[in-house]
Amino acid sequence: MKEPNYKKIPAGREYYYRRLFSVLILIAFFALMPGKAFSQSQDPKVLKKLSLEELLNIEVISVSLRPEKITEVASAVQVITGEDIHRSSVTRLPEALQLASNLQVAHVNSHDWAITARGFSGLPSAGGILANKLLVMIDGRSIYNPLFGGVYWDVQNTLLESVDRIEVISGPGGTLWGANAVNGVINVVTKSAGETQGLYVSGAGGSFLKDHVQARYGFHKGSTFFCRVYGQRFDQKNTFLENGMSSGDAWNMTQTGFRMDYFPSKATTITLQGDFYEGDENNSIKRAITDGQNVMAHLTHLFSDKSDLKVNVYYDRTWRITPNSTQPFSYNLNTYNFDVQYHYPIGKKQNLLVGMNYQFQQDKIARTLSPLSRNMPLFSGFVQDEIGIVPDVLKLTVGSKFLNNVFTGFEVQPGARIGWTPNMLHTIWAAVSRAVRVPTRFDADITVTDKKFDSEKVIAYELGYRIRPLDRVTLSLATFYNHYNDLRSLDKTTDPKFPIILANSQKANSWGVELSGNMQVTKRWRLRGGYTYFDRYIWSTNDNVLPISVEFESIDPKNTVLLQSVLDLPKNFQLDVMARYVSELSAGTLAPKTPAYFTFDARIAWLFRSFEISLAGQNLFGDEHTEVGLSRIPRSIYGKISYHF
């Protein structure tokens, strides 16, 4: 059939109907836009006319996410609640991580920490900068840095009073989060501004914690806008060396910040938050200055109790310099990040989570690496499907993350988890995942050769069991077997300019058990704790690998035990104790072994009206001890008064 001639404007009915059809479609499209649903307000008279039975049969939009019970989650997760942190002697974020028994947390010196999960914290004498397999986030903002693949723990000083919980997931989180969640993910979640209203001030001082002042004020406007501002400053004294002399690592830090939460509708939350810090630390004879700023905007929109959209944008800058040494060292990192996550159900049994992330990092270092400054764009996307094979009983989660990074290009991180919850009492779960550690600047840029540093890969097999034998007791057991490929190694070369380079000529197998439990012994007494066992076998894939490569990657304790007791005494007194045992770090080629240590913290507090007066001690067993490296951590006792109105 020949095409009609459209060159002249068609007149008549045919044209009219075609236009009408298009207009109707457009009307239908806009009329059914989701925005409408939430302004739907049912007159109470209408709902009151229904019988209770009919009322329970209406389709409801929930504006509160169904909280996933921890017994249903198919992974090795431990949660440190704000209450656990409050009922302990910890004063800073890295100290709070001691309360998760599936983490290896070692206090290196007054300001540094070596923190990892499932091993590979590197050479003890490196003081934690070789621990590169853990992703850490605060409210969804990654604090992992691409310089050495770890965290500068000295500048992570979120007000502990504002922390709602810290989720510690040991095992690969590659399928949802970044390219370095190889051994675990830590997510620090702060309370919403609405939960931190009123005035909070506290002052503390003691033998190791010289002083610590905190203030926070929260206010709101109606029930849709909540805000808080806070400030804190602390001075911490030095640790000691073997010979009893000071390590010269005293330091101080001032941090201030804010958070605003705005609820334009019942289903939407907009959050804006930021922190600004500046600190001064001593490192034996050198002095370092650090400063940083971050600001983040977040939007969550709930479509139903199973469907939501999250958008996150943040900017983070961290900078440090050692100005007075003969060779000044400085490092500046700018991070721009944008991510979107969309969660929606497919049919009755499936829940799909898709996301996309673009992160641009740009850093500048004073020396040692080549190039001195690098632009590092990172694109990633992920897809995850949660399939309720038997709803609430058997759940399979499959997904994968795809990323493109400036060092190794395209990487894939698939994973599958299955969880079986036969009844409310227990869950058995199993998982297989592949995760990738993208090279850091240290790996890739410390030498300039044509041999590029490749990403490390891990395939992790996990099996776990969680049980609630009595209502007051939860126990969970997680076991894992990891196989690492292309693990970092130190290889000797024939190149006279670079006789030793970083390469990927090692492989490793690691395995372990993580046991944790929580028990409400009586109404006033709660116990929580755990035991972790870890071991590994590392071998090289060619003859050029230097033997020190093994300890460069991993000297980790085999056994770690944690026990925390929280007790409410009569007359508003509280007695809280936390005990830890970490087994020895074996000797290396260059360093002697670090002996096993046992220590405990204790805290006594008295609540009087709006005041809390407490006396707390950390590392009370023995004068001092070494956890990793050379410094000896002293016993610390401090008094604290806080006021909450």
Q: How far is the CB of 349 from other proteins (least distance, A)?
A: 12
**Burial of 360: CB neighbours in 10 Å, binned 0-12, 13-18, 19+:** middle
458 in Cβ contact with 483 (< 8 Å): yes
Q: How far is the CB of 60 from other proteins (least distance, A)?
A: 5
Return the residue of 20, 26, 389, 412 that touches other proteins, per CB under 8 A.
Answer: 26
Any contact of residue 22 with other proteins (CB under 8 A)? yes
**Burial of 75: CB neighbours in 10 Å, binned 0-12, 13-18, 19+:** buried
Q: Which stretch binds other proteins (CB under 8 A): 249-257, 298-306, 361-369, 581-589?
A: 298-306
Q: How far is the CB of 229 from other proteins (least distance, A)?
A: 20
Return the residue of 56, 245, 285, 590 that touches other proteins, per CB under 8 A.
Answer: 56
Which is nearest to 109 in space by CA: 634, 638, 637? 634
Return the residue of 1, 58, 245, 590 that touches other proteins, per CB under 8 A.
Answer: 58
Interface of this chain with other proteins, residues 27 to 46, rule: CB under 8 A:
28-29, 31-34, 36-38, 40-42, 44
Nearer to other proteins, 408 or 574 (CB): 574
Give the SS3 label for residue 267.
coil
Interface of this chain with other proteins, residues 306 to 345, rule: CB under 8 A:
307
Q: CA 363, CA 374: separation in Å to the nearest integer?
A: 6
Q: How far is the CB of 430 from other proteins (least distance, A)?
A: 23
Interface of this chain with other proteins, residues 452 to 471, rule: CB under 8 A:
468, 471
Please say whether the dihedral angle defined by the alpha carbons of residues 189, 193, 195 and 200, taken in this order, is positive or negative: positive
CA atoms within 13 A on the CB side of 344: 7
Determine if residue 207 is left, alpha or beta; phi over 0 gives left, psi from -120 to 50 gives alpha, anything else beta. alpha
Q: How far is the CB of 312 from other proteins (least distance, A)?
A: 22
Can you name the residues that pair with 400 across neighbouring β-strands? 383, 414
Q: Which two tokens stand for residue 12?
A: 């008549």
Any contact of residue 569 with other proteins (CB under 8 A)? no
Integer-rounded Cα radius of gyration of the chain: 27
Give the DSSP per-residue string, 196-208: S-EEEEEEEEESS
Nearer to other proteins, 264 or 377 (CB): 264
Q: How far is the CB of 369 from other proteins (least distance, A)?
A: 46
Any contact of residue 611 with other proteins (CB under 8 A)? no
Return the residue of 20, 55, 448, 587 that touches other proteins, per CB under 8 A.
Answer: 55
Interface of this chain with other proteins, residues 385 to 444, rule: CB under 8 A:
424
Any contact of residue 285 with other proteins (CB under 8 A)? no
Angle at 569 between CA 564 and CA 570, to 5 degrees: 170
Q: How far is the CB of 609 from other proteins (least distance, A)?
A: 12
Give the DSSP per-residue string, 493-532: -S-SS-SEEEEEEEEEEEEEEEEEEEEEEETTEEEEEEEE
Residue 167 CA: distances (Å) to CA of 86, 102, 140, 419: 16, 11, 12, 19
Beta strands in 391-499 (DSSP E): 394-405, 409-423, 426-437, 456-470, 473-492
Q: How far is the CB of 350 from other proteins (least distance, A)?
A: 15
485 in Cβ contact with 544 (< 8 Å): no
Return the residue of 20, 60, 448, 521 that touches other proteins, per CB under 8 A.
Answer: 60
Interface of this chain with other proteins, residues 497 to 556, rule: CB under 8 A:
none
Can you name the residues that pair with 500 across neighbouring β-strands? 492
| Tokens 């290009």, residue located | 409
Beta strands in 193-328 (DSSP E): 198-206, 209-221, 225-236, 251-265, 268-283, 286-304, 307-322
The residue type of 80 is I
Nearer to other proteins, 197 or 485 (CB): 197
Nearer to other proteins, 223 or 494 (CB): 223
Give the SS3 label for residue 591.
coil
CB-based contacts of 580, cutoff 8 Å, min separation 6 = 98, 560, 561, 562, 563, 598, 599, 600
Return the residue of 71, 300, 330, 350 that touches other proteins, per CB under 8 A.
Answer: 71
- Whole-angstrom distance between the N-terminal and C-terminal Cα of the chain? 83
Can you name the residues that pair with 427 across neighbouring β-strands? 466
Q: How far is the CB of 425 from other proteins (least distance, A)?
A: 9
CA of residue 91 relative to chain centroid, distance: 18
387 in Cβ contact with 396 (< 8 Å): yes
Q: How far is the CB of 339 from other proteins (least distance, A)?
A: 23
Nearer to other proteins, 58 or 285 (CB): 58
Any contact of residue 607 with other proteins (CB under 8 A)? no
Nearer to other proteins, 68 or 543 (CB): 68
Return the residue of 14, 15, 20, 83 that touches other proteins, per CB under 8 A.
Answer: 83
Q: What are phi and psi of 162, to 5 degrees?
A: -95, 5
Q: Which stretch binds other proteins (CB under 8 A): 64-72, 201-209, 253-261, 400-408?
A: 64-72
283 in Cβ contact with 254 (< 8 Å): no
Q: How far is the CB of 346 from other proteins (least distance, A)?
A: 11
Return the residue of 2, 8, 13, 48 that touches other proteins, per CB under 8 A.
Answer: 48
Nearer to other proteins, 79 or 115 (CB): 79
Nearer to other proteins, 23 or 412 (CB): 23
CB-based contacts of 259, cutoff 8 Å, min separation 6 = 162, 190, 192, 193, 227, 228, 271, 272, 273
Nearer to other proteins, 471 or 543 (CB): 471
Q: How far is the CB of 38 from other proteins (least distance, A)?
A: 7
Q: How far is the CB of 28 from other proteins (least distance, A)?
A: 5
- The site that binds other proteins (CB under 8 A) totals a number of residues, namely 52
Interface of this chain with other proteins, residues 234 to 273, rule: CB under 8 A:
266
Interface of this chain with other proteins, residues 170 to 199, rule: CB under 8 A:
194
Q: How far is the CB of 17 from other proteins (least distance, A)?
A: 13
Footprint of other proteins on this chain (CB under 8 A)? 3, 6, 21-22, 25-26, 28-29, 31-34, 36-38, 40-42, 44, 47-48, 50, 52-53, 55-64, 66-71, 83, 194, 223, 266, 303-305, 307, 424, 468, 471-472
